[in-house]
Structure 1
Amino acid sequence: MTRQVKRAFKYRFYPTDEQTAELSRTFGCVRLVYNKALEERTQAWYGEQRRISYVQSSAALTEWKKTEELAFLSEVSSVPLQQALRHLQTAFGSFFAKRSKYPRFKSRKKSRASAEFTRSGFKWREGRLTLAKMAEPLDIRWSRPLPEGAEPTTVTVSRDAAGRWFVSLLCEDDITAAPATDAAVGLDAGITSLVTLSTGEKIANPKHGRRDRVRLAKAQRELSRKAKGSANREKARRRVAKVHARIADRRRDFLHKLSTRLVRENQTVVIEDLTVRNMVRNHTLARAISDAAWRDLRMMLEYKCAWYGRELVVVDRWFPSSKLCGACGTVCGTLPLNVREWTCGCGAVHDRDVNAAKNILAAGLAVSACGDGVRPQRESSRTGQSSMKQKASPARVGIPRR
C-alpha cells in the first residue's frame, strides 16, 4: 500500500553576500509585518471589541507599503509578507480553539529567522532553486535526493543562531507501507535508559548535553566576559550557539534512528502520555529530562507510524505502570525513584523499567483490542484524593490478567 504525503526535505546552503543581505532584509520585514498586524489586532479587540480578519490585515499591508515610513516593505518579495499574515491567522485560530496561548510578538534576538515562499515566490528549474528578488540560484548542498519527479510547493529559508543557513522544500512524496508484522512493543521512557522495551532491552541514554557540558560551560564563561554590544561578544555568542547546535543535531539524529527502528520492527507501538512541561518543573531532574527529549521521540513515532501503516497507542499518564505487578495485578503503595528493583507480595521480583514497559504494552493491547480506558483507581475527581495515593489493590481496568 502506497500513500501520498507532504514531506519536507531540509538542506544546508551557502548564500552569496548579495543573497545574505536580501534574505536578512526579508527576515526583518517578515518580523515587522507580523508584529504590526498582531499589534493592530490586539488594540482592535481590547479597545473596540472588534476582530480583524486576514483579508483586512492584507489590505492594511498594502496601505503600509504606500507610507513613507514603511515604503521599504516594497523592496522585498511580497510572498513572505503575506505568509506571515497567514501564520498569524493560524495562530489566532489555534488560540480561539484553545489549542495554544495568545500569539506573542517576534523578537529580533530570540525568534527564529525564517521566510516562507509559495510557488509564486521562487523558480524551480532543472534542480536549481532561485528565490524572488534574486538573480542567482541558491548554492544548496544536496545531502540526499528529492523524490523522483517531485517539485517543491513551498520553500522555507531559515538561519539558526549559529549562523547556518537552511532551506526546506515541501514536496509530495509516495511512501510505501512497511510489511505487516505481529510484533508489538511497549516503551518506558527514562533517564539512565532512554527507553526500556517490553522485550527487556534497554537503550542507553546518550546524554548529548552532558557530553558537551564542559565545552558549553567554557564558551558561556567567555561570553559573559565580553562587553555588551561589542563584536567580540557577537563572536562569543556564535560559539555558544554552535555548541548548542552540535548537541541538538546529534540528539535529533539519534532519535530519528531509534524511532525508525521501532516503527519498522513493530506493528504496534505503545507509549505513555508524559507531561514533560510539568516534569521539568522538578529542578533536580529538569536538565536530564530536557536532554532526553521524550517529546521529540513521541512526535517522530506519531508521524512515522502514520506514514508506514503502524499503530501508535498512547496510555494515560495516570496509569501506574511502574507500581503495578505484572504477575498478580497488585498496585504497590509507594515506589521511590531510587528503587530500581522491587519484590511484590506474591513473590515476583521486578526490574522497575522492564516491568513498566510490559505493563504499558499490556494496557495498550487491551485498549487497541477492546477500546477500554487505562485509568485504574483514579478517584480524584469524585473524592478529592490524589490518584498517586492509592492502596495496594488489583488493577482491573485495561489490564488483562496473566
Structure 2
Amino acid sequence: MLKAYKYRLYPNEKQKQYFAKTFGCTRFIYNKMLADRIKSYKENKDLDIKKVKYSTPAQYKKEFEWLKEVDSLALANAQINLNKAYKNFFKDKSIGFPKFKSKKSNYRNYTTNNQKGTIFIENGHIKVPKLKTMIRIKQHRQLNGLIKSCTISQVPSGKYYISILVDTENIQLPKTNKKIGVDVGLKEFAICSNGYRQTNPKHLRKSEKRLKKLQKDLSRKQKISNNRKKARLKVANLHEKIANQRADFLHKLSIKLIRENQSIVIEDLKVKN
C-alpha cells in the first residue's frame, strides 16, 4: 500500500534558489503545454484528442535551454499532471477546463521520483535529484517503506515541506462485528448511532476567531509596506495552523472510527448549504 510522510525542510539560500527555479520551470512547462493544447484544439476540433501528439519537456529544452538547469523528472511530472487534468475534463465537463498556473501564487510545489536511490534520508538530511547538497529535514517520525516519489512545497508562510510517498506493507486491522452510522451536523460535528457525540474542537474556534481579527488588521495596513508584509505573514501562519489543527482533528476521529468498527455509514449531505 502507498503511504505519505510529510516533513518540514530547512533549505539554505542556494537550495531555496534552486527550489524557486524549479517551481518556476514546472509552472512554465505546465502553462506552455496547456497553451499549445488549447491552440491545437482550436485548429483541429474534429480530431480525436487521443491521436494528437504534443511536445514533451525534452523538446521544449531545445528552445528554452534554461529548463536543463532543473530536475527533468519534475518537468515530466508537470506534464503528467496536465495530462490527467486534460483527460478528466473531457471525461466530465463539470470538473472544469485546466487553468493556467499563476506566477503570483503563494503556494508552490513540484514532484520528483526516486530512481535507484536518488531520494534518501541520512543524518537529519535528505537527498533529492539534481540538487548536489543535502537538505536539512525535521524527521519527527520514522519512515517505513520503499520511497517512490516526493513533493517539495513552499506554503504562503514561506516554510518548506516535503511529502514522501512510500510503498509499504498493508497493515490488517483486527476485525470487529460493530457497525456504526455517522450523522454530520452543525452544532455538533458528528453524532454516531451508538450514542457517541463529537463536539466541534474549541481550539479550532479560537484560532478562527483570531484569524478574523488578523485579517481585519491586514486590511487596514498600507499597501506595499513592511507592516503589511508582517501582517500578511501572521495571517498566512495562522491559516497554516488552522489547516493543521483541522487535519489533526479529522485524522484522529477517522482513525478512532475505523479501528472500532467494521462498517461505517455516513449520510451524504452538503453541510455548507
TM-score, normalising length: structure 2? 0.89
SS of 2:58's equivalent in the other structure is: helix
Counterparts of 2:221 and 2:102, CA distance in 1: 22
| Alignment pair present for 1:131 and 2:128 | yes
Residue-by-residue CA offset, 1:194-224 (whole Å, 9 max, x unaligned): 0101012211111555312342123212322
Query: Which residue, out of 166, 171, 191, partners 2:166?
Result: 171
Distance 1:240 1:72, change over 3 A: same
Compared CA separation, residues 74 and 136, structure 1 to 2 (3 A) = same
Question: Which position in structure 2 is the counterpart of 1:74?
Answer: 68
Equivalent residue letter for 1:96: F
Give 1:215's aligned residue.
Answer: 210
Which of the numbers 41, 44, 65 marks the counterpart of 2:37?
41
Asked if the contact 1:77–1:121 (Cα under 8 Å) also holds between the matched residues in 2, the reply is no
SS of aligned partner of 2:142: coil
CA contact (8 A) 1:122 1:130 kept: no
Match among 120, 133, 141 for residue 138 of structure 2: 141
- How far the C-alpha of 1:261 sits from its partner, in A, is 0.5
Change (3 A) 1:54 1:212: farther
CA spacing shift, 1:185–1:125, aligned 2, 3 Å? closer
Query: What stretches of structure 1 move > 6 A for 4+ residues in a row?
Result: none
Aligned to 2:248: 253
Given residue 240 of structure 2, which amino acid in structure 1 is its aligned partner? Answer: A
Q: Per the alignment, in what secondary structure is the counterpart of residue 176 of structure 1?
A: coil
Deviates more, 1:14-23 or 1:169-178: 169-178
- In structure 2, the CA distance between the partners of 1:57 and 1:63, relative to structure 1 (3 Å rule), is closer
- C-alpha distance in 2, partners of 1:62/1:121? 21
C-alpha distance 200-125 of structure 1, shift in aligned 2 (>3 A): closer
2:96 maps to 101
1:304-344 per-residue CA deviation (whole Å, 9 max, x = no partner) reads xxxxxxxxxxxxxxxxxxxxxxxxxxxxxxxxxxxxxxxxx
2:223 alignment partner, SS class:
coil
Quote how far apart the aligned CAs of 1:55 are. Answer: 5.8
C-alpha distance in 1 between matches for 2:172 and 2:146: 22
User: d(CA) in 1 for partners of 2:234 and 2:141?
Assistant: 28
Higher relative CO (CA 8 A, sep ≥ 6), structure 1 or 2?
2
Task: Spell out, residue by residue over 1:369-399, the C-alpha distance to the aligned partner (whole angstroms, 9 max, x if none).
Answer: xxxxxxxxxxxxxxxxxxxxxxxxxxxxxxx
CA distance, structure 1, for counterparts of residue 84 and residue 51 of structure 2? 11
Residue 262 of structure 1, aligned match among 240, 244, 257 = 257
Kept in 2, the 8 Å contact 1:208–1:247? The answer is no
Amino acid of the residue matched to residue 69 of structure 2?
E
1:57 to 55, 59, 68: 55
- Aligned positions, number: 268
Q: Distance in 2 between matches of 1:55 and 1:169?
A: 32
Q: Deviations over 1:244-264 (max 9, x none)?
A: 111111111011111000010
Q: How far has the Cα of 1:79 moved from its partner? A: 1.3
Task: Look up the SS of the partner of 2:166 in the other structure.
Answer: strand
Report SS of the residue matched to 1:153: strand
- Kindly name which structure, 1 or 2, has the bigger radius of gyration based on alpha carbons: 1
Please tell me whether the aligned partners of residues 7 and 171 of structure 1 are also in contact (alpha carbons under 8 angstroms): yes
Report if aligned partners of 2:37, 2:54 keep a CA contact under 8 Å in 1: no
- Structure 2: which 5+ residue stretches go unaligned? none
1:79, 1:121 within 8 Å by CA — same for their partners in 2? no
| In 2, Cα distance between equivalents of 1:126 and 1:10 | 13
- Compute the RMSD of aligned alpha carbons: 2.3
Mapping of 1:272-287 within 5 angstroms?
272-274=267-269, 276=270, 279-280=271-272, 282=273
Match of 2:184 in 1: 189
Contact 2:114 2:148 in 1 (8 A): yes
Residue in structure 1 matched with residue 23 of structure 2 by the alignment: 27
TM-score (norm 1): 0.62
User: What is the match of residue 175 of structure 2?
Assistant: 180
